[in-house]
Amino acid sequence: MPAVFVLIWSTGFIVARYGMPHAPPFSFLAIRYALSIACFGVWIAWAGVKFPTTRAQWLHLAVTGILMHAGYLGGVWAAVKAGMGSGLSSLIVGLQPVLTALWLASTGAQVTRRQWIGLVLGFAGLVLVVSRKFAGGGPGDSANWLNLGFAVLALLSITTGTLYQKRFVTPCDVRSANAVQLLAALVVTLPIALLEAEPVDWQPEMVGAMAWSVLGLTLGGSSLLYMLIQRGAAASVTSLMYLVPPCTALIAWVLFAEPITAATLGGTLLTALGVGMVVRSPARAV
């Protein structure tokens, strides 16, 4: 299941490149959330699924929805709309295990020497790639302070949301949980979408991106992520996440001609190595 999740999850950055030329980011996401809620509603009614019964459960699910949908997806989609390539956006968000390790270290958890080396390598690889993009990337594949800020927002949101869900959300049906999370994300995203002046252009690429976002990513990927976290398999997902950036970079090179220079390749592999060292390091402290 973790491998299937990672395969689905990695397509999200590619879908953003397909959809963003034809829609503003938050309008796209608001429509995606609304359609996803409708799909989950039909599924819930057909299966007779019950919703959470306590106010606390609804509140915790709403918080994770705002973080893991509105914050994470909003950051990624806005970064891509502002000119960031799929490969770089996935590379930044792929630092989630590194950020998690730093947070654990700040709370007094034991961090091994190998993990610290991995942290340094991960950030060094990212700096190498970002510096090259700042120096002058092509259209749809450049870095600036605006899109970098959006990508960092996505990174912080997915990291915080994952930790929060594991800590506070009690196990419940994945369909009703996702419906509540998406409803909270829609409430936050819709006001921003209404402020966007750019219209949604329903070109075939836009329709395809929306269909896969709803059916593949939200109903499939988000449901798998929820189940994996609740079943304690988040570590398995994290251990595979470092494969997403190089895979995304390869797909983006094939589909969008995003260049893979020696610096980009070296930085991506360096980051993947660093993240791998962080998540695969033994628990023995220095």
- Walking along the chain (286 residues) 10 residues at a time, the average pLDDT comes out as 72 86 95 94 91 92 95 94 86 80 73 79 79 64 86 93 86 87 96 95 93 88 70 59 74 77 80 76 44
Structural domain includes residue 116: no
pLDDT of residue 179: 93
Q: How far apart are CA 216 and CA 211, in angstroms?
A: 8
Taking the CB of residue 47, how many other CB atoms lie within 10 A of it? 11
Angle at Cα 93 formed by Cα 22 and Cα 86, nearest 5°?
35
pLDDT of residue 281: 47
pLDDT of residue 261: 77
Structural domain includes residue 272: no
Structural domain includes residue 265: no
Facing residues of 138 across strands? 141
pLDDT of residue 124: 83
pLDDT of residue 283: 47
Structural domain includes residue 64: yes
Domain count, the chain: 1
Structural domain includes residue 59: yes
Structural domain includes residue 151: yes
Structural domain includes residue 66: yes
Angle at Cα 79 formed by Cα 74 and Cα 84, nearest 5°?
155
> Model's pTM, two decimal places?
0.82
Residue with tokens 């797909």: 251
Structural domain includes residue 123: no
Domain that holds residue 95: 2-106+138-238
Q: How far apart are CA 220 and CA 225, in angstroms?
A: 9
